[in-house]
A and B are shown apart, each in its own frame.
Chain A
Amino acid sequence: MAVADGQNTVLRVLVTVLLALIFALIELPDVVSRARPELLLLVVIYWSLSAPRIVGLTFAWACGLAVDVLTGPILGQHALAFLFVAFLTHKFQLRIRIFPIWHQTLTVFMLLALYEFLVFWIDGVIGPAITTWTRWLPVLTSTVLWPALVAVLDTWNRRSR
């Protein structure tokens, strides 16, 4: 994990977050849409690890709130889930950052599972939750996406050092 603390890191963070938000909104065929990776969460985890001074808890929370405003049933649902994930990431940031990639991917898998569980749980609190197994698909697809995302963003970070 490249540490990104350069001058234009803020810009890169904003660009990736915007792209991830757009990705979350794009209309996809139903089958694909079910398995849509949580790109925004991955981006937030990545920047929490590599630029912890820029992407703090508040930033992650705000990203979650944006998801709520755009798609969520109530405000605060995804914000809360983002907050938990960001907290754990920050808490163990120094350790996760130096994990080998497969170990890191496993950690991200667990964070994603926690995220989906929180969203699912709040869904259940506010109304009848949908209990099909397909709602856990994003955990898998996002996990698969993680190494690729790290590779791409690391390369970008190094190049613009």
Chain B
Amino acid sequence: MVTLSADSRPIIGRGPPLGARFFFLLVISIAVMVMDHRGNYLDTARMWMGVALHPLNVFVDAPHAAWSWLTESFADRARLRKENAELSEELRVARIKLLRYESLVEENRRLRELREASQGIGERTLIAEIMNVAVEEFRHRVRINKGASHGVFEGQPVIDAFGIVGQVVRLDKFSAQVILITDAEHAIPVQVNRNGIRSIAMGTGKLGTLSLPFMTIESDIKVGDLLVSSGLDGIFPAGYPVATVTRVERNPQDTFATVEAKPLALLDRDREVLLLWPQKDDAAASASAGIQVDTTAAEPAGESPARSPAAE
């Protein structure tokens, strides 16, 4: 076990004493924590340290990325044909739905313009891949392969084909951390699609469960209800599906009912997610003013957004 060293230089007496170094670094650590937690003063520093360590992420992700590339490149013909058939079937169904969607969007826009309330539709999106990299135990976070250099920003909504996935919490130059809606520290304002009741869906730390702690026992909510984002937080755009209600328990002596919901996004199975750039209100309004479809609504559209609250 013990091997004596040939090196006879004294260990003690070189540089500042141990206690002093410890104290110095301790103060720095605490200062760093406070600055990072309270004011996000260190975002730039963190970003560049992230750049320095990014190769590690890429390295760890590489086998998985290479494997999926391989399986994609050497997929056999039968499987591709099957997939192709499935996809065209899906596309056909989606197209038919879209036919109605187009007219509904138009109708919705006209109605909104009549109410002089404008809300952005038609956001810019970017596909990001979830890196196969462990982020933090006990927290529902993932790392995606798009970062500040792709225009990603903190608080950016992330969705997949089925619903809202989460939002960007931490930004590096070439990657970003996304907090999932099921993380215990996450909450998202939602509304029941059926009747518009608003509430907040909190993460529980369990994958597959959200809880709605602020639903009174009288409120009209039942199992199977679709919850969509209400857009009140200014982070998630309104109207995206979030979860379906799976459990409602009303205990007469409590004020609030126990409501649980299951996220619609495939939080644990996603490989690709979509980053959203929600349009600002004025940008949306000017865009919609550009497309003049209905003569009754077209002319006041350009000046509406600034005064929209007054009209209510």
Tally B residues with Cβ within 8 Å of A: 45
B138 near A130 (CB under 8 angstroms)? yes
Q: Is B7 an interface residue (CB 8 A)?
A: yes
Q: Is A39 an interface residue (CB 8 A)?
A: no
B41 to chain A, nearest CB (A): 10
With A52-B11, A74-B37, A76-B30 already in contact, the answer to whether A27 and B64 are too (CB < 8 A) is: yes
Interface positions of B (Cβ within 8 A of A): 1-7, 9, 11, 14, 18, 21-22, 25-26, 28-33, 36-37, 42, 45-46, 49-50, 53, 56-57, 59-60, 64, 132-139, 184-185, 205
Bound complex: CA of A53 vs CA of B5, how far in Å?
Answer: 13
A25 near B18 (CB under 8 angstroms)? no
Kindly identify, within residues 17 to 66 of chain A, every residue whose CB is under 8 Å from any CB belonging to chain B.
18, 21-22, 24-28, 33-34, 36, 52-53, 56-58, 61, 65-66
A91 near B18 (CB under 8 angstroms)? yes
A65 near B49 (CB under 8 angstroms)? yes
B18 near A74 (CB under 8 angstroms)? no
Residue ID in chain A nearest B268 by CB atoms? A30
Q: Report chain A residues within 8 Å CB of B9.
A: 53
With A3-B3, A57-B22, A76-B36 already in contact, the answer to whether A83 and B134 are too (CB < 8 A) is: no
Interface positions of A (Cβ within 8 A of B): 1-3, 5, 18, 21-22, 24-28, 33-34, 36, 52-53, 56-58, 61, 65-66, 69-77, 79-80, 83, 87, 90-91, 97-98, 100-101, 122, 126-128, 130, 132, 135, 154, 158
B56 to chain A, nearest CB (A): 6
Q: Report chain A residues within 8 Å CB of B137.
A: 33-34, 36, 135
Residue ID in chain B nearest A61 by CB atoms? B25
B111 to chain A, nearest CB (A): 41
Cβ-closest 9 pairs across A and B: A76-B32, A76-B33, A3-B5, A80-B29, A130-B138, A25-B60, A75-B36, A87-B22, A76-B29
A71 near B135 (CB under 8 angstroms)? yes
With A80-B30, A158-B3 already in contact, the answer to whether A22 and B22 are too (CB < 8 A) is: no
Picked from A5, A22, A100, the residue with its CB within 8 Å of the CB of B59 is A22
Residue ID in chain B nearest A123 by CB atoms? B138
Bound complex: CA of A30 vs CA of B106, how far in Å?
Answer: 46
5 contacts between A and B (CB under 8 A): A21-B56, A26-B133, A75-B45, A76-B33, A98-B2
Picked from B2, B5, B45, B185, the residue with its CB within 8 Å of the CB of A5 is B5
Residue ID in chain B nearest A127 by CB atoms? B185
B18 near A90 (CB under 8 angstroms)? yes
